[in-house]
Structure 1
Amino acid sequence: MDLFSAFEQQVKQTTAQHYLIALSGGLDSTVLLDLFAKLRQIQPHFYLRAIHIHHGLSPNADSWAEHCQSLCNQYTIPFIIEKVQIDRKNGIEAGAREARYQAILRHIHPNEILVTAHHLNDQTETFFLALKRGSGLQGLGAMQTQSELLGMKIFRPLLSFTREQLEHYAQRENLTWIEDESNQDSRYERNFLRNEILPKLRARWTHFDRSVQRAAQHCFEQQQLINELLQETFLEHCQTPTEFQLHKFNQYSSQKQTALLRMWFSQHQWEMPTKRQLEQLLSDVVFAKQDANPQFHFGKQIIRRYQSCLYLTSDFADLTNICLEMRDTPILLPDNLGELDLKRTPQQFIFSWQQHTVALPPTDLPIQIRFGYSGKIKRHPKRPKEEMKKIWQELGVPPWQRSRIPLIFYREQFQSAVGFFKVFEDTEK
Structure 2
Amino acid sequence: MKPALSAKLLQSLASWRNAPAWHIAFSGGLDSTVLLHLLATLAKTESLPPLSAVHVHHGLQVAADVWPAHCQAVCDSLGVRLQIMRVQVQPGASVERAAREARYQAFIELAGPGSVLLTGQHRDDQAETLLFRLLRGAGVRGLAAMPVHRSLGEGRLVRPLLDVSRAELEAYAREQQLAWIEDPSNADPRFSRNYLRGHVLPLLTNRWPQAVNTLARTAEHLSEAQGLLDELAQMDLLAASAPSAFPWLSLPSLSLAPLCALSEARQRNALRYWLTSLTRLPDSNHWAGWNALRDAKCDAQPLWPLADGQLHRCADRIWWLPMAWSDFSDTPQGWLHPENPLQLPSNGHVYFTGQAPKGALSIRYRQGGEIMEVPGRGRRDLKRLLNESGLPGVVRGRLPLLYQGQQLLAVPNLPGLAVEAHGDWQLHWMPPTCDQGLS
Question: Are 1:252 and 2:246 counterparts?
Answer: no
Give, in angstroms, the shift of residue 138 of structure 1.
1.5
Change (3 A) 1:77 1:401: farther
Question: Are 1:375 and 2:384 counterparts?
Answer: no
* TM-score normalised per structure 1: 0.85
Whether contact under 8 Å (1:371, 1:405) holds in the other structure is: yes
Match for residue 347 of structure 1?
none
User: How many residues get paired?
Assistant: 407
Q: Which residues in structure 2 correspond to 1:152-301 (within 5 Å)?
A: 152-238=155-241, 242-266=252-276, 268=277, 271-278=280-287, 280-301=288-309
What's the CA shift string for 1:114-161, capped at 9, x where partnerless? 211111111112112221222222211112222234554221111011
Whether contact under 8 Å (1:373, 1:388) holds in the other structure is: no
What's the CA shift string for 1:80-135, capped at 9, x where partnerless? 22222223346322222222222222221102112111111111121122212222
Give, in angstroms, the shift of residue 60 of structure 1.
3.3
Match for residue 7 of structure 1?
9
- CA separation in 1, counterparts of 2:355 and 2:188? 64
Give, in angstroms, the shift of residue 313 of structure 1.
1.6
**Aligned amino acid, residue 244 of structure 1:** L
Whether contact under 8 Å (1:50, 1:77) holds in the other structure is: yes
- CA separation in 2, counterparts of 1:358 and 1:74? 67
Change (3 A) 1:196 1:226: same
Question: Are 1:317 and 2:319 counterparts?
Answer: no
Question: Are 1:104 and 2:104 counterparts?
Answer: no
What's the CA shift string for 1:301-359, capped at 9, x where partnerless? 22221112222221233647533456798765444x34x3xxxxxxxxxx53xxx8685
Change (3 A) 1:44 1:232: closer
Match for residue 430 of structure 2?
none
Change (3 A) 1:419 1:45: same
Give, in angstroms, the shift of residue 270 of structure 1.
5.0
Match for residue 16 of structure 1?
18
* TM-score normalised per structure 2: 0.83
Match for residue 305 of structure 1?
313
Match for residue 395 of structure 2?
401
- CA separation in 1, counterparts of 2:342 and 2:104? 32
* Aligned with residue 419 of structure 2, among 407, 411, 424: 424
**Aligned amino acid, residue 175 of structure 1:** L
- CA separation in 2, counterparts of 1:189 and 1:156? 22
* Aligned with residue 30 of structure 2, among 17, 27, 30: 27
Give, in angstroms, the shift of residue 290 of structure 1.
1.4
**Aligned amino acid, residue 371 of structure 2:** I
- CA separation in 1, counterparts of 2:38 and 2:134? 32
- CA separation in 1, counterparts of 2:132 and 2:241? 30
Change (3 A) 1:419 1:69: farther
Whether contact under 8 Å (2:370, 2:382) holds in the other structure is: yes
**Aligned amino acid, residue 13 of structure 2:** V
Match for residue 343 of structure 1?
none
Give, in angstroms, the shift of residue 423 of structure 1.
4.5
Whether contact under 8 Å (1:134, 1:274) holds in the other structure is: no
Change (3 A) 1:21 1:378: same
Match for residue 345 of structure 1?
none
Whether contact under 8 Å (2:230, 2:273) holds in the other structure is: yes
Instruction: State the superposition RMSD in angstroms.
Output: 2.8
Match for residue 426 of structure 2?
none
Identity among equivalent pairs (%): 33
Change (3 A) 1:256 1:317: closer
Extract unaligned runs of 5+ from structure 2.
244-250, 422-439
**Aligned amino acid, residue 4 of structure 1:** S
Whether contact under 8 Å (2:402, 2:411) holds in the other structure is: yes
Q: Which residues in structure 2 correspond to 1:56-95 (within 5 Å)?
A: 56-89=59-92, 91-95=94-98
Whether contact under 8 Å (2:121, 2:161) holds in the other structure is: yes
Question: Are 1:113 and 2:116 counterparts?
Answer: yes
